[in-house]
């Protein structure tokens, strides 16, 4: 059973038997499959299918996998794991130096393949994309810890920033006083609702056009606060 968040794997392989085997193994372990039987197909699908990892058989009907690896590497850094019947050391060296990330000699165990795929995915996802939240003119760059309102860069104190980031990460959702206090001041301060009032006032003075009529930081009386996400 696959879901929308499962990683996509591009399988480049021409033997029907091997394809069936991979299809069965991978879909049952949380991957979505895109399949190509030729180098040409593979190149097209590497663009349109936007796979997170590629499994590549070296023996293809229309040209060898080494050349395919090189063309992929001209523009993409998606992990490539070569699956090949050729076990000679020189084959491995050639494939790896062409730009592939790993090399498995057939026959191989499914579990090893899956583990190597996990390793490749782990590496690739490391420089995780810059999380940036935008709400109207307000822009919060979580990686840089930077808040801008239109063109102007805002200076927020540590607590102000943590509250704002927390609310912005849950746009539209009401966060209770307790939740916010626990997250920002720690579980020992969940009773100090007064802190919140002071800080919400400071934040509003900094980010609202008219702090008396808040449009972004909405009070939910006797419940908590909420970041308006639209309209």
The DSSP secondary-structure symbol of 143 reads: T
Q: How far apart are CA 19 and CA 23, in angstroms?
A: 6
Which residues ranging from 148 to 167 are in contact with its own copies (CB under 8 A)? 157-158
Cα distance between residue 149 and residue 117, in whole Å:
42
Contact residue for its own copies among 174, 182, 193, 208 (CB under 8 A): 174
222 touching its own copies, by CB under 8 A: yes
Answer yes or no whether residue 84 interacts with its own copies by CB under 8 A: no
CA 23 to chain CA centroid, Å, is 24
Q: How far is the CB of 37 from DNA (least distance, A)?
A: 18
CA–CA gap between residue 25 and residue 32 (Å, rounded): 11
Report the alpha-carbon distance of residue 183 to residue 206 in Å, rounded: 21
Q: Would you tell me which residues interact with DNA (CB under 7 A)?
A: 155, 157-160, 177, 185, 192-201, 204-205, 211-212, 214, 219-223
CB atoms within 10 A of CB 1: 6
197 binds, among its own copies, DNA, none (CB under 5 to 8 A by kind): DNA
Binding residues vs its own copies (CB under 8 A): 77, 89-90, 92-93, 96-97, 99-102, 109, 111-112, 114-116, 118-119, 122-123, 126-127, 143-146, 157-158, 172-174, 220-223, 226
């Amino acid at each position: 059973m696959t879901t929308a968040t499962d990683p996509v794997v591009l399988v480049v392989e021409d033997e029907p038997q091997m394809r069936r085997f991979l299809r069965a193994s991978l879909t049952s372990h949380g991957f979505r499959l895109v399949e190509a039987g030729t180098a040409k197909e593979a190149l097209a699908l590497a663009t349109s299918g936007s796979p997170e990892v590629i499994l590549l058989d070296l023996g293809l009907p229309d040209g060898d996998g080494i050349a395919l690896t090189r063309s992929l590497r001209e523009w993409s850094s998606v992990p490539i794991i070569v699956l090949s019947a050729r076990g000679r050391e020189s084959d491995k060296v050639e494939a790896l130096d062409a730009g592939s990330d790993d090399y498995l000699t057939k026959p191989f165990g499914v579990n090893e393949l899956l583990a190597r795929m996990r390793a490749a995915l782990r590496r690739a996802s490391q420089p995780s994309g810059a999380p940036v939240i935008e709400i109207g003119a307000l822009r919060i760059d979580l990686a840089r810890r930077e808040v801008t309102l239109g063109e102007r860069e805002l200076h927020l104190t540590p607590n102000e920033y943590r509250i704002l980031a927390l609310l912005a990460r849950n746009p539209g959702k009401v966060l209770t006083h307790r939740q916010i206090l626990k997250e920002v001041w720690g579980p020992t301060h969940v009773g100090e609702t007064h802190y919140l009032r002071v800080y919400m006032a400071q934040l509003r003075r900094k980010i609202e056009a008219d702090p008396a009529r808040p449009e972004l930081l909405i009070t939910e009386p006797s419940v908590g606060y909420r970041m308006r996400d639209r309209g």
